[in-house]
Amino acid sequence: MTADEPLSETILNCIKVLEMVAVLHRRGYERLRIEPGMAPSGMYWRCGVTHAGNMDPANGALCVTSGGPEMALYTSGMEGRIFDWDDAPSLDTEQLADRFLLEFPEICKLGQGEDPEYVAWYELMLSFVRTGGLPYAYDDYGDYDDEPPGFVPTMGESNGKLPLPPVGDR
């Protein structure tokens, strides 16, 4: 993909998930976090949405507990059916945020509160994402292990090195 080519529908769906979290941050859920990664096949991007208390104190991009009631999981294999919701393709990011609050009230409750450092990092991350550079904090095929410490790699055209997010208060 070159800078002149439009982003694929797959990437746009992934961006929609990340933009939904930014909407939730603006609504006072600044302690919501993401754990982005790659599926073992390398074919699908994953994004878990959780709360600050579930983040690894040594790496603010990884969770202590992935999956289960502490995490809402999106994978690009769901395509436009974000969080497997049938109506998600027709929802904008504000509507997705409304739905997320209804579907995941416990995660949202734990994600309430201020964290301006994380929100600033999140906006930086979105600047990578908007050019197709999805972050991934883990993969199961070895590429992530080659990255320098202190960074989250991004794929796509930007192929940049994003600083790790701040850990903040758990």
Q: How crowded is residue 31: how many other Cβ atoms within 10 Å of its Cβ?
A: 24
* Residue given tokens 């797959």 in the structure block: 10
46: containing domain: 9-163
**What's the per-residue H, E or C state across 2-44?**
CCCCCCCHHHHHHHHHHHHHHHHHHCCECCEEEEEEECCCCCC
Helix/strand/coil for 56: strand
pLDDT of residue 1: 43
Asked, for residue 159, whether it belongs to a domain, the answer is yes
Within 10 angstroms of residue 160's Cβ, the number of other Cβ atoms is: 16
pLDDT at site 2: 47
The pLDDT value recorded for residue 22 is 98
Any domain includes 110: yes
Q: What is the pTM of this model?
A: 0.91
Angle between helices 93-103 and 9-26 (to 10 degrees): 70
Which two three-digit tokens encode residue 135?
A: 């972050």
Residue 21 to residue 13: CA distance in whole angstroms: 13
Domain presence at residue 1: no
Q: Which residue has the tokens 């579930």?
A: 54
Q: Give the C-alpha separation, 139 to 36, whole Å.
A: 9
- What total number of domains does the chain contain? 1
Residue 131 lies in a domain: yes
142 lies in a domain? Answer: yes
Give domain status of residue 3, yes or no: no
Identify the segments of the chain with pLDDT beneath 50: 1-2
User: Is position 170 within any domain?
Assistant: no
Residue 150 in any domain: the answer is yes
Task: Tell me which residue of 56, 66, 81, 59 sits closest to 151, measured CA to CA.
Answer: 59
